[in-house]
Chain A
Amino acid sequence: MGKRFPREELLAPGHRGCAGCGASILVRMALKAAGRDVIVVNSTGCLEVFTTPYPETAWRVPWIHTAFECGGAVASGIERAIKALKKRGKFKDRKITVMPIIGDGGTADIGFQALSGALERGHDIVYIMYDNEAYMNTGVQRSSATPLFASATTAPAGKRSKGEDRPKKDMAMIAAAHGIPYVATACISYPEDLMKKVKKACEIEGPAFIHVLQPCTVGWGYNPEDTIKIGRLAVETGFFPLYEIEHGEFRITYRPAKRKPLKEYIRMQKRYRHLTDEDIEILQKYVDERCKLLGLE
């Protein structure tokens, strides 16, 4: 991996991310894969807040943040502006990648419409959804990407509640339904797979959508040193399968030798600590069904 991807860090150290923050790991990898000819768009959220408290910035690439629900639209404007500038002779023979890096709330909830518009219009963008499965910036409120039975502050576990009562919204498949040339899932615990996907997304003309699972030490409730381990378990258990859909062609990109029991993943996280073995069995069945559907037995 070291040979294929540069050592240069385009997200500077010293930002205010938590120890063990999965989002900052994702950004480092994505920018290594994309290189310097990139313009990053953030929506309001953790990443924006911890990287840019004025007058500080951690970004060594051009970066913009406007509001919460409009990352797709801001990226659309930038992409077309680059086209216009190219007509004037700027950025000659260069492919500038417009890369929204936006959380699950900014993508699956409040920014859903702007995302759908951007994908449907065919803008040449690489949209990365960094999914920590809740509104971590504002205190772990549930989003539509929060998985079934996870406890969140607006879907708390209690005497009459097992936490979130709806399964996770499947953003990668929703993106794929737009008929865009490239869709993938990835996880920060599989850096080479992730970076290969980002690189491919940058090269492909037209919209690309990469759904990246990114464990969050605060929101999920685990020790900071376990971020990578938890991500691995999400993939090894089949909770979060890694695949890509390139020009309509579906392909599993990582196939665990033998899927681990979901319990190993669940028991490491405080957000699931209210669950009984029977509850976990329900989740296991759900994961089994999804894996079967994707051909990941």
Chain B
Amino acid sequence: MSGHAGEPFAKLPVEPKPPLRRFHQARWDEPIIFEQSRPGRRGISVPAAGVPAVELPGSVRRAEPPRLPEMGQLQVLRHYVRLSQENLGVDNAIAVGQGTCTMKYSPKINDRFVSDPKVAELHPLQPEDTVQGTLEIYWQLERILTEVSGMHRVSLQPGSGSAAIYANVAMIRAYHASRGEGRQRDQVITTMFSHPSNAACAKTAGYEIITLMPDADGYPDIEALRAAAGPRTAALLITNPEDTGIFNPRIAEFVDIVHRAGGLACYDQANANGLLGITRAADAGFDLCHFNLHKTFSTPHACGGPAAGACGVSEALAPFLPGPTVEFDGERYYLDADRPQSVGKIRPFIGVTPNVVRAYAWAMTLGAEGLREVAEIAVLNNNYLMHKVLQIPGASAPWDRRRVEQVRYSWQELSEETGVHSEEIGIRAADFGVHYWTSHHPYVVPEPFTLEPTEAYSQEDLDEYAAILAHVADEARRDPDFVKGAPYNQTVHKTDQTWLDDPKSWAVSWRAYVRKHLS
């Protein structure tokens, strides 16, 4: 406080605030909603309609009512508000700690658009004439994404980034099959630091995976690619910048090597947030690419529910795009399902419309210059944060290279000195109300942590985040057992994650939990 307004307060015996937030997570011990259900409770009492009931055939009738929780409105509202308070996310924390996930702010105005009945009450089977505006948004967003990527066409059908990668792999398979080389080309090449969904999707589609390991400079070994590429190569699936944040300057050579072997080159653009308006997939010679609309284009992350992915292809691959495609004849928009070479549907209907609307609104509010500015600020923020983090004794960024939009750092030095591991530093950091993540499996960088500040965070946010890390690193030196005992200010202490590794135990739904653990 300054000036006259502050003077009366200056005399009050108020201690100055400590440099770090005195955060404490709300803790409600909230049971899950199914456990709160009581027979007969209702949120809304619906009066009898007064019209005769329609006799449904037995084959479509439920034998028993769905086992939905039965609760009052207040109890439902309170339940979800409490859960939201037990959470850390972009809306209440500095969420720069989930590198590779591009946790940027999703502007609330875009949520108002999608909660408008014009979007919220759409039915996927409505006649085309009644959804001309929606189809126009699909069409226009496709134009934006073809411009950003340089590709010929883009499909918005995939419901997630990995679904978009899978769609790309399906197109690669269909392309080679159409040339009589489907059986012969049974290998997909990827890199250690590419997003793991590349290997996973290609393997799911039946391909054998060859991984290129990083060389001593941190780039994927180009000589290994030369040795691996051949008549069995279907495609190279590569992320650039990789999850280290290092941009591969020889990417066009990688594409050339694969093309000369008769394979296709597919660009995983999960890390596109630092590239918008700066580089384009098509300019490096790629045949296919994808975007995660929930990363780069600010729509919500899905966590298993529908997010949105987009796959872009060259003209040669366009006939294989998933469908139906959205077309425009100059007067009206329509769906084209008559595409004999299409790989078909990656998910039902034409896409996750609310997310397509959000991404379109986001891109339109920014404009072309704004999109480039997003990338510039994301890169600037990342390099600012890197500068701050590397001043913390014990923190390092393996490979002395400039980074684009994220960095995979290492606490190796601190960990060897103190015995405190990266996960433990992250758990302690949560005591100050921030989120932190280590690395994809396997841990190639020792004691890893991956930060991606995006364009959404202010300089003060980044300063605060770096100060928290510096504080925890200092605690680790002075009192390692204290850091290992964290968290102290969180909802839960430590959770046993071994369930996640065991198909017999894991349960991602209440039904599965009841089946595996209660019956």
Partners in one complex: no
Query: Which residues of B are interface residues toward A (Cβ below 8 A)?
Result: none
